[in-house]
Each structure stands twice: as structure tokens, then as C-alpha cells.
Amino acid sequence: MATTAHSAKAAADQAADFGYDAFKTTVDRSIAAFDGIAVNSKLNLEALADSVGAAAECAQTLSAQAAAYGKKAMEDHLATAKKLATAKSVQEAFDIQTGYAKFAVESYFAELGRWSDSFTVSMQRSIKPLNDRFSAAAAEFAVR
């Protein structure tokens, strides 16, 4: 009977050790997974902050370009108005106005091209941190 009690105690000890080891392994894996989530969350937030910073720079650049264009357009308009005021004939005024209209439209479309280029570059800069983070996460999940 002593051997039965001894073997039952040994089996119980073995089961307890196995349960402890399984529990410890599971807890360790869970903690490691939560650490990984925390690291990834931090990296995601950093990428988002970089993206927002680049977008803010984009807005600032476009705002400065718009202000500079507006100032130049107003100066050109005033110069043309002064020229029109000194026109000696209707034909001369018509020529000045036609020349200004052509110049204004051409400069407007040129400015739109610059804004489009700036916006494209800024959007690429703004999306890059998020795209890099997405690629890193996809590579990490592909390994698992």
C-alpha cells in the first residue's frame, strides 16, 4: 500500500510539475506577445506621427506657394491696371487687356502644375512612413 501511495504521490507531483510548466510557458508566451504588441503599437504611432508631420509640412508649403502666387498675381494685376489707365486708344487698351489675360491664364496653369507637383511629392512623403510600417508588419506576419 505504501508503494501505491508513493506512486500516486509521484504521479500527482509529476502532473503538478507538468501543469506548472505548461502554465509558465503559456504565461511567458502571452507576456512576449503583449510586449510585441506594445512595440508594434509604439512603432505604428511613430509612423503615424511622422506621416502627420509630413502632411503638415505639405500644407505649410502649399500655403506659402499660394500666398506667393496671390501676391504676384495682384502685383501683375495692378501693373496691368496702371498700363490700362495710360492707354491712348481703345485698341491699345484691348491689346493690353488681351496680353494680360493670356499671361494670367498661362501663369495660373503653370502655378497649378507647381502645386500639383508639390502636392504629389508631399503626399508621397506623408504616406512613406505608413507604407514602411505596413511592409514591416506584413514581413513580420509572413515569418510567423
Measured in whole angstroms, how far is the alpha carbon of residue 129 from the centre of its chain? 6
pLDDT, greater one: 127 or 34: 127
Instruction: Give the type of residue at 88.
Output: K
Average pLDDT over residues 3-11: 74
Dmax (CA) for the chain in angstroms is 130
The total domain count for the chain is: 1
Angle at 60 between CA 59 and CA 62, to 5 degrees: 65
Query: For residue 118, what are the domain limits?
Result: 2-143
What pTM did the predictor assign?
Answer: 0.63
Burial classification of residue 128, based on how many CB atoms lie within 10 Å of its CB (0-12 exposed, 13-18 middle, 19 or more buried) = middle
Helix axis angle, 2-85 relative to 90-143, nearest 10°? 170
The predicted pLDDT at position 58 comes to 86
Say which residue, 67 or 24, is predicted with more confidence. Answer: 67
**How confident is the model over 111-133, as pLDDT tens digits?**
999 999 988 998 899 899 888 88
* Residue pLDDT, tens place only, 48-90: 888 888 888 888 988 999 999 999 999 999 999 999 899 899 9
How many angstroms separate the first and last alpha carbons of the chain? 51
Residue 104 binned pLDDT confidence (cut-offs 50, 70, 90) = very high
Angle at 41 between CA 40 and CA 42, to 5 degrees: 90
Number of H helices, E strands in the chain: 2, 0
